[in-house]
Structures are given as C-alpha cells and as structure tokens.
Structure 1
Amino acid sequence: MNVLNRTHQKSKNGIPYFENPEIEKLGWVIHGFLTRQGGVSLPPYDSLNVSFSNGDQKGNVFLNRGRITSAFGFEPNQLVLLKQMQLDGILILKDPVDQNPDPLKYDAMITNIPRHFLGIQTADCIPIFMVDQRKRLITAIHAGRQGTALGITKKALTKMKEWGCSEDDLLITLGPSIGPCCYEIDEKVFLKEWEPFSIHKGMGKWMLDLARINIAQLKEVGVKEGQIFQVDLCTRCHRDLFFSYRGEAQTGRQLSFIGILK
C-alpha cells in the first residue's frame, strides 16, 4: 500500500486538500480530499462544513459549497451529493442528474459522465475513490462501519466489473478517516472476521482498523497492494484539519470529491 501524508497536502484558492498524485497526473480526472479549513461556518462547524443535516446555518453551508466549487472550477449544481445511509446502496449514474441538496439515498456512486463531481461527506468514516484508467470510470464510496460490514467497497468494484472494468486498471485511494488508535467499538457490533485488524481491549471493547478492513476486502477480489493509496491521517487525532464525530459529536462534515473533466 502507498501512504499519503501531510506532504501530499495542497491548497487551491484558500481551500486545503489532499490528493493522490497518480490520479492527478492522469489529466482527465480531478479529485480532492478536503479538510475542515477554508470555510465560513462558526463553531462547532468551523469552518468548511458541507452538510445541511447537523445544525449549521444553511446560508453558511451554501457559501462553503460555493467556495469549493469555485476553487476547483465547476458549478454548484455539478456537485452530486448523497443522503448517506450507512448501508451498501450504490447509485449508477448513466444519465445527467438534476438534484436538490442531498436527495439520493445511497452510499456509493459510479459514473463515466463528464462534469459530474461525485461528493462524499465524512467526519470519521472513509471516503474511497476508485478510478479505472482505461475505461474512464470513477467511483466514490462512503465506507462506515456498517457499510464495511456489508462489503460496500467490494460490491462497488463488482459493479464496475459489470461495466467491463478490470481490477488491474484501477487506482484506489482511501481518504482520511478515524484510525485504530481512536476507533473503539462495542463487542455487540464486532464481527469475528475483523479480529486480524483489531486490538481487543477487554471488557467487550475493540479498537478497529476500518481502513485495513476495506483494503483487505479489495485485495480479496484481486486488487494489488501497489494500486491502493491511503491518506494515513486519523480524523480524531487531527481535529485541527478534520471534522470528527467521535471527537466532537456535534460537528461538521468535510467533503471529498472526484469528477471527470472531459
């Protein structure tokens, strides 16, 4: 696996973000794993919150979304966002989408349509991007604990294969998420197959490495280690950079987006 860190942080028109240089140099796709910095929202949503669902002022959220789309060169109505359900629903975008804010009840999207910028909102869960370099197909995934348990990442890859994709042509990037240092879960929601990726604390508690589980699932279906990249920064540990539900409870959501330029 290839590790991305603070050396891969960039800024565009005052908006800090992380990117995978291997995706960036393809030339036909743009992407970014954004931080909480660069917006107008006030605490506890400071400052680049993109979610309408957590109590922030709607006007500030619209301004934040507008700042992002302006900085990266596309229109607000070209940003496709989901009402994320913490499940395994996958939206196949074969036709242009005209939407109101957050109406689509899925946790992943796949498209080959240019100028549709797929957005994932997170505050500890993993944003995952998959790019088929040959077919020019992109996928954006919201992988939380429940989605991971349901195998959403593997299911999204299976859907891509239905479009004729080969796992050998993929570049896959996991964005910032809560790390095993901070992600404690209860035994009643712990799955036995997660034991190799967890530390048992006793008293019915486990420290879970959600990213490693998703990486293992990808490798199970043929993705090679060298095709996988991870922004290896814990959202709870780095609350100066990222929103963290586990760290703050009432907080914002940062945006990760990917889109085909032409």
Structure 2
Amino acid sequence: MIAADALRLDGLTHGFFTREGGHSSGLFSSLNCGMGSGDDRETVQKNRALVAERLGVAPNCLLSAYQEHSAEAALVTGPWPDEAERPRVDGLVTRTPGVALGVLTADCGPVLFADPEARVIGAAHAGWKGALTGITTRTLDLMEAQGARRARITAVIGPTISQAAYEVGPEFPARFTAADPANARFFAASERPGHAMFNLPLYLAHRLGAEGVGTVVNLSLCTFSDERRFFSYRRATHRRETDYGRLISAIALT
C-alpha cells in the first residue's frame, strides 16, 4: 500500500493499494480487487477484505461503483443492499464514518479527495474520457453540496499510466484542444507519424488546480512501467493477455 503524505490527516485512512499482498494467482497476482475481472469471485472478496481491514472498515463497507468512464458521481451513506445495486458512476462522495470509497484502475487515474474540516471525502476514477468530460468537477460539486469547500480540499492522483507509455491516435488530441486549445501542452510527439503521447496525470493535476482545489498532489507513479507493483490494461493488451487485475485506491472516515 502507498500512502500519500498529503492525506495523512486526522480522522481519515486511505491507501493507493498495489498489486502485492493478496490471494490471487496468475495474471491476477496477487491483490486483485476487481469484481469485474475473470478472477475467482471469492478470492477477490478475500482481497477486498484485506483492504477493508487495513482501512479500518467492515468488508461490506468498502464500496466501489460500476464504473463506466462517465462524469457522474453519487453520494454514499452506507453499503448498498447487494452488488447489483451499485450505482453506475465514476465518482463517490460520503460524510459517513466507517465507509470507505474505492475506485478501481489499471492505468486510469485514481483521485482521492478530502476536506478534513467538513469531514467530507471523495474518490474518482478518471480515465481520459471522464477527465475530459468532468468527473473531477462533478465529484467536487457533490462534496461542496455536503459542506466541503474547494479551497480546503486535498486531492491526490495515484498510480496512473505515464506520458512515456501512453501513445494515442491522431484523433485523440483534437478532442482535448476542441475543449481548450491550451490542452495541446499535455501532448508530445510520438515516434509514429500522426500519433502523440498523452500526459493524463498532468492534465488531471492542471484541471484540479483550475477547479479551485486547495492542494493537488500527483504521486507520479506509472502503472505501465512498474509491473512488480501495478496492474496495467495497456501492458496486458500489448502482450495479448486475456485479462488483467485491477488496483484499488480507497479513502475512509474514521
């Protein structure tokens, strides 16, 4: 588990969990927390229970949504009655003690948020699509509706694919520059003509700052290049592997 100094705050527990220390094997070795993967369901539940224990919450209080690369967020007040009732969103917010908000990633950006004074926390799954369409904005809006203030919020970007590993096609930068021509700064030339290298974590950090977040931290950890610690969808795709594990990043009020 990786802890961010900026989130070592009274009344909070958090962690950007690596792939190490779990029960899974093979492609999912070993702390795979993705219920949507092809891993054994009971094994994944055991892995998630380890995470919940580390965070100091009950296993059924480690909550993650049905992620769809959207810009939608939901308020959480407690465990959903069953797995089928998970909201289809990419951001979660709570002010309920004993609840841990988790996001699952394998190259996308996990972002954990906290306003310790208001005792409001959030978590967002920010791939390129969610980042561009406003998942961080929506999560912050929902936190403010619960009493948080952006200037007091700390946001930390966890392990994410780095620019050096994130090559995109010719149509990709146009989506970002159409939204704001200044977004061209987040792309560098690729060795392949017409392609570019996208800096997702830097784009997220810039966006969070522009949205008024008081403290923004990027851990600058690359999921693609650090196979020992992190799962990576893109690495698995390059190898033509049939599946991949999911990392979990989570935060809880105590």
Q: TM-score, normalised by structure 1?
A: 0.87
Please give the secondary structure, in 2, of the residue aligned with 1:61: helix
C-alpha separation between the residues in 1 aligned to 2:132 and 2:167?
16
Q: 2:27 aligns with which of 44, 48, 55?
A: 44
Q: Is the 8 A contact 2:154 2:213 kept in 1?
A: no
Shift of residue 204, structure 1, vs aligned partner: 2.5
1:149-228 matches, cutoff 5 A = 149-190=132-173, 191-192=176-177, 193=180, 194-201=183-190, 203-224=193-214, 227-228=215-216
- CA distance 1:73–1:87, shift in 2 (3 Å): same
C-alpha separation between the residues in 2 aligned to 1:92 and 1:223?
19
Q: 1:96 aligns with which of 78, 87, 107?
A: 78
Structure 2 stretches lacking a partner, 5+ long: 238-242
Residue in 2 aligned with 1:11? none
Cα RMSD (Å): 1.6
Higher helix fraction: Structure 1 or Structure 2?
Answer: 2
- CA distance 1:87–1:23, shift in 2 (3 Å): same
Shift of residue 99, structure 1, vs aligned partner: 3.5
Task: Answer yes or no: is 1:20 the counterpart of 2:13.
Answer: no
Residue in 2 aligned with 1:13? none
Task: Answer yes or no: is 1:136 the counterpart of 2:124.
Answer: no
Shift of residue 98, structure 1, vs aligned partner: 2.7
Please give the secondary structure, in 2, of the residue aligned with 1:142: strand
Residue in 1 aligned with 2:240? none
Shift of residue 28, structure 1, vs aligned partner: 0.3
C-alpha separation between the residues in 2 aligned to 1:81 and 1:230?
22
Task: Answer yes or no: is 1:122 the counterpart of 2:110.
Answer: no
Deviating above 4 A after TM superposition, structure 1's stretches of 4 or more consecutive aligned residues are none
> Partner letter of residue 256 of structure 1?
S
Q: 1:238 aligns with which of 219, 226, 242?
A: 226
Structure 1 stretches lacking a partner, 5+ long: 1-16
Aligned length: 241
> Partner letter of residue 97 of structure 1?
P
Q: Is the 8 A contact 2:128 2:200 kept in 1?
A: yes
> Partner letter of residue 250 of structure 2?
F
Shift of residue 89, structure 1, vs aligned partner: 1.0
Q: Is the 8 A contact 1:81 1:101 kept in 2?
A: no
Q: Is the 8 A contact 1:85 1:107 kept in 2?
A: yes
> Partner letter of residue 178 of structure 1?
I
C-alpha separation between the residues in 2 aligned to 1:244 and 1:118?
21
> Partner letter of residue 196 of structure 1?
R
Task: Answer yes or no: is 1:255 the counterpart of 2:248.
Answer: yes
Q: Percent identity?
A: 29
Shift of residue 166, structure 1, vs aligned partner: 2.1
Please give the secondary structure, in 2, of the residue aligned with 1:44: helix
Shift of residue 22, structure 1, vs aligned partner: 3.1
Q: Is the 8 A contact 2:14 2:55 kept in 1?
A: no
C-alpha separation between the residues in 2 aligned to 1:221 and 1:40?
39
Shift of residue 185, structure 1, vs aligned partner: 1.3
Kindly provide the CA deviation profile for residues 55-104 of structure 1, in whole angstroms up to 9, marking residues without a partner as x: 111121122112222333321111111110011110012x3233323622
Please give the secondary structure, in 1, of the residue aligned with 2:163: coil
> Partner letter of residue 231 of structure 2?
F
Shift of residue 241, structure 1, vs aligned partner: 0.3
Q: Is the 8 A contact 1:186 1:205 kept in 2?
A: yes
